[in-house]
Amino acid sequence: MGEFIKAFEFIANNGAIAGQHSLPSLTQLTLETLKVAAIGVAISVAIAVPIGVWLGHLHRGSFFAINLGNIGRALPSLAVLAIGDAFLGLGLTVVEVALVILAVPPIITNAYLGVDGVDRDLVDAARGMGMSEREILTRVELPLAVPLIFTGIRTASVFVVSTTTIASLAGFSGSLGDIIANETSYHFSGVLGAAICVAALALAVDWALALLQRAVTPRGLRLQGEAKVGVGAPAPGLT
Amino acid sequence: MDTANTAHSEGPSAFAKPGEQESKAAKTEATAGSALRSSAAWDGSSAAPAQPKAAELELRKVSKSYPGQREAAIAELSFTVPAGEVCVLVGPSGSGKTTTMRLINRMIPLSGGDILLGGRSVLERDARELRREIGYVIQQIGLFPHQTVGENIATVPGLLGWPKERTAARVTELMQLIGLDPEMASRYPAQLSGGQRQRVGVARALAADPPLMLMDEPFGAIDPINRTRLQDEFLALQAKVRKTIVFVTHDIDEAIKMGDRIAILREGGHLAQYDTPREILTHPADDFVAEFVGADRGIKRLSLTKLSELKLASPNGAQPGTLRASPETSVRDALSMILTANGAPLAVVDGEEQVQGVLTLSAIEQLLADEAAA
Amino acid sequence: MRPRREIGPTEATEVSALAASGPVIPNFGANSSKCVVENRFFCGEWVSKNWDSVLWPALRQHVLLTAIAVGIGFAISMALALAAHRYGWLERPTILATTTLYTIPSLALFELLVAPVGANIFAAEIALVSYTLLILFRNILTGLREVPDEVLDAAEGMGMSRRQTLLRVELPLALPAIVAGLRIAVVTIIALATIVYTIYNKGLGVPIHTALGEGPFKTELIAAGALTVLLALAADGLLVLLQRALTPWTRAR
C-alpha cells in the first residue's frame, strides 16, 4: 500500500514532478477532462434526447432505438478513437465526434424507453381531456420519463469521462489520461494518483447528475417510485 | 311441501336435516342422465378405486389473529364438511372466508384450534406433503406460463413421484374430463382462452386425486356468460368425482347454486349460519343472514326446485294452452312465465307432449308458505 | 514490465525522426505489399498473412478474457441476486456497491488494481468482473421479481418447497431477463477488454495498441477494431438464439 501513499502525495502536489517543469498540473488536466467531456455530453444530449423523446412519443422506431443502443455498446471506445486518429488525426474535434458517436446510443435508447413506457392509459386520459400533442409531451410524458432519460444521460456522461481518458491512449493530449499513458515521466505513483482522480471525477459527475435528477424529478414520482428506478443505476434494457 | 325426488338417491349425508334433500351432486346426476356418458372414461381408465376419494373436513374452534390487531380475523370457527360435499364459504369482504380457506392448507399459520382432514389434524403433517393432497384453485389460476398444459396438470403427480406412464394417462383422462381435446396438452397457457385456462386449473388441482379441493373464487375473473357455463360444467364434474370441496365466493347466488352446504361468515370470521341453501333461504338465522341473502330470498328459493319435483295439479283433461314448460324448468323460471302471462296457469309438458300437470300461482304461494312453516 | 504507450520526450524525438525518414513498414515487415507500405485503408493481404501470428491469438485471448469475466461475474451476481431476492434489504447496498464499481472508468480501475494485485490477469479479470456485476445483478433480480404472484401462490399451494419453486418456476420464468442481462454484459466486456492491454498484454487491444504506435497502421487498426465489433455482435446473436431455445413459451401465441 506504499504505492497509494505515494499516489496521494502526487495528488497533494498537484501532479508536479521533480525535475519536470513543462508538465500540466493535475487541476489543469482535470479541468481539461471535464471540458472535453462536457462538450461531448452537451452535444450528445442535444442530438439524442429530442430524437429519442420524439420516437418514444410516436411509439415508432423501437427497433432502431433499441438496436442502436446494442450497437453502441458493442463499439470499443479505443477502436473508435484509434480509427479517428488513423484517418483524421486526433484533434479536439475528432475526439468530440467520437465521444458523440459513443454517447448518443444510450441516451436515445433510454429517452425512447422513458417516453414510450409512459402508461398508455395516462396518455389516453390526457388526450381525452383535450390536451394537444405538444402538451401531452411536455406535461405528461416528459415529466414521467425523467427518471429514465436522466439515467441515460448519467450513463453516457460517466462513459464520456471514461472515454476522454482513453483518448490519451490513442494519442490525444488534454486529459487525465495523459498521465496514465505516460508512466515514464510520472512513475507509477503518478499513474495511480491520476487513476484515483479519474475515479473520483467520474463518481463526482455521477453524483452531481443524480442530484440534478432529483431536483428535476416531479415530487409525486419521487415519492412513488424511488425503489423502482433503483439508485440511479443505468437501465438494464430488458430487450 | 315435500321435495320429492326421483329414484336416484345417495341417501342423506350424516349431517342432513330430516326430510332434507341430498347433495346437489346427486341431484345433478339424477337429472343429467345421459350427459354423463363420458363417466365411462373416468371409471375405466383410471387406477382410482371405484369409490371416489373424498375425506371429511372438520374445523374445530379455528381462530386466527394477527399481531397488532385487536380483533381476531377469525374467532373460534367450527363446522364440518361431510365427505363428498361442496361447502361454500360466503360473506362480505373482511369476513375471513379466504383466510379460512388458506388456513386449511396451512398457507396461513393457525393461531388456535385445529383442522382435521379425514380425521387427521393438518398440524401433524408436513405442510408441503399436506398440500400435495389438497387440490388448490385460485382466482387468477396461476398456471405456469413456461410449461405446457400437460406439464401444468402433471405438476403434483410429478412432485409425488408418479411413474411417467401413469401421469400421462392421468393427464389425458383429466383433459377429457374437463372437456378439452387431449391434443391441446402441448399448448402453452398463453395460447388458451380464459375459460380454457380455468378448466386447466381445475384439472391441475384434480390431478393427484386429492381427497379435498380448495377453490377461491375460481370463476370470479370470468365474464358472466362463461361463468354460468363453467359453473354448470363444474357441477357435472363434481357429480362424477365427488370430492370434498371448500368453495369461497362473495356471490350469494353462486353459493346457492354450487353449495350443498353454505357457511355464511360475518366480519371477524363468525359463523352466522351453516346450513343447506334451502334452509338458509327459508329460515335465515338472523337479520344479517336475511339481509345478506337478499330480500328476494323467497324467489331465490324457487330456483332450487324443479317442476318435476312438485306435486302438480292434475290437468283434468285440459289441453295445454300457450303457457307450457318442461319438467326440468325451475319453479322460479316458471313463476316468471306465469307472471308475464298475467297469472295464467302453466302446463308442465314432458318430451312426448304429455301434460304432466298444471301449475298455478297459488300453488307456488302454497309451496313457499309450506316451506317456511316447516 | 508491462508495455505502455509512452509519450516521453526522448521517444517523441525518435518517432519524429522515424517519420521524417519516409513511410514506416509496420510489423513483421519483410515483403510487405505496396498497400501496406502506403498505409492504405485496408490491406486484405496483410490480414491473411498475419492472421495466425497476430489477429487470431489476440481474438482467442479476447474471448477467453471475456468468458472468464462473464462466467465469474454471473456466478457472483446470481448468488447476490438470490440473496437479495430472499432478503430484500440487501438490494440497496448491493446496487450502491456495484454502481460505484461500474462508474469508475476502466482505465482508472485497472491501474487502481495493479497496486495491490500486480499487472497481471488477476487485476484485469477483477476489473472486468466488476463491470458485469451491476448489469447481471439487476437483471437477475428484476427477472425473479417479475414472476407473477399468483403463479408463486399456486406453486406453494400445490406443495412445492421453496427450493422446488425457485428451480422449477422462478428461475425458468426469469430466463428472458437473465439472458438479456448476459447479452449486455458480454457486449460491454468485449468492448472494455480492449483496454486490458494497458496492464496485461493480451486481447484485441494489443494489435490496436501496436497499430497506434505505427503511424497508425490503418489495416491492423481496422482489422482489430472490426474483429472486436464482430465478436460482440456474434456473441449477442448467439445469446439471442440461446434464449429462444430455452424459452419456447415466450414465442407461443
Kindly report, residue by residue over B155-192, the tens digit of the pLDDT.
999 999 999 999 999 999 999 988 899 999 999 999 99
Beta carbons of C111 and A191 less than 8 Å apart: yes
Judge whether B323 and B21 are in contact, CB under 8 Å.
no
Q: Could you report the per-residue pLDDT of A16-37, keeping only the tens digit for each?
A: 776 666 677 888 889 999 999 9
Torsion angle of the four alpha carbons B73, B78, B81, B82, in this order, in degrees rounded to the nearest 10: 170
Predicted pLDDT at A224: 64
Q: Would you say the C-alpha torsion B134, B135, B140, B146 has a positive or negative sign?
A: positive
The model's pTM is 0.79
Number of Cβ atoms within 10 Å of the Cβ of B62: 24
DSSP state of A117: T
- Chain B interface includes C160 (CB < 8 A): yes
pLDDT, mean of residues B291-296: 89
C164: closest CA of chain B, how far (Å): 9
Predicted pLDDT at B3: 38
User: What residues contact A212, with CB distance under 8 A and at least 6 apart?
Assistant: A150
> DSSP of C155-179, one letter per residue?
HHHTT--HHHHIIIIIHHHHHHHHH
Peptide bond into C216 cis (omega under 30): yes
Predicted pLDDT at C161: 93
Q: Which of A83-87, A127-131, C27-31, C38-42 has the lowest mean pLDDT?
A: C27-31
Beta carbons of C228 and A4 less than 8 Å apart: no
How far apart CA C249 and CA B356 sit, in angstroms, is 57
Chain C, nearest residue to B214 by Cα: C157
- Chain B interface includes C247 (CB < 8 A): yes
- Chain B interface includes C245 (CB < 8 A): no
pLDDT in tens, chain C (253 residues): 344 443 344 444 444 444 444 344 444 455 566 777 777 777 778 888 888 888 899 999 999 999 999 999 999 999 999 999 999 999 999 999 999 999 999 999 999 999 899 889 999 999 999 999 999 999 999 999 999 999 999 999 999 999 999 999 999 999 999 999 999 999 999 999 999 999 999 999 999 998 888 777 888 888 898 999 999 999 999 999 999 999 999 887 6
Beta carbons of C153 and B142 less than 8 Å apart: yes
A to C CB pairs, distance under 8 Å: 174
Domains and CATH numbers, chain A: 24-229 (1.10.3720.10)
Chain C, nearest residue to B206 by Cα: C158
Chains with 3+ CB–CB pairs under 8 A to A are C
- Amino acid, res. C34: K
Q: Could you report the per-residue pLDDT of B196-207, keeping only the tens digit for each?
A: 999 999 999 999
- Window 133-152 of C: residues touching A by CB (8 A cutoff) are 134-135, 138-139, 142
Predicted pLDDT at B318: 57
Domains and CATH numbers, chain C: 47-252 (1.10.3720.10)
| Mean residue pLDDT across chain B | 83
> Is pLDDT of A147 > 90?
no
Phi, psi of B74 (to 5 degrees): -140, 130
- Window 213-252 of B: residues touching C by CB (8 A cutoff) are 214
Beta carbons of B146 and C247 less than 8 Å apart: yes
> Is pLDDT of B89 > 90?
yes
Cα angle C76, C81, C84 (rounded to 5 degrees) comes to: 130
> Is pLDDT of B98 > 90?
yes
- The model's confidence at residue B45, banded by pLDDT at 50, 70 and 90, is very low
Beta carbons of A170 and C92 less than 8 Å apart: no
Give the H or E element holding residue B93. Answer: none
C168: closest CA of chain B, how far (Å): 10
Predicted pLDDT at B64: 93
Number of Cβ atoms within 10 Å of the Cβ of A32: 17
Beta carbons of C233 and A192 less than 8 Å apart: no
- Chain C interface includes B128 (CB < 8 A): yes
Overall residue count recorded for chain A in this entry: 239
Predicted pLDDT at C129: 97
How much is the ipTM here? 0.84
Q: Could you report the per-residue pLDDT of B210-224, keeping only the tens digit for each?
A: 999 999 999 888 888
Predicted pLDDT at B23: 56
How far apart CA C184 and CA C136 sit, in angstroms, is 9
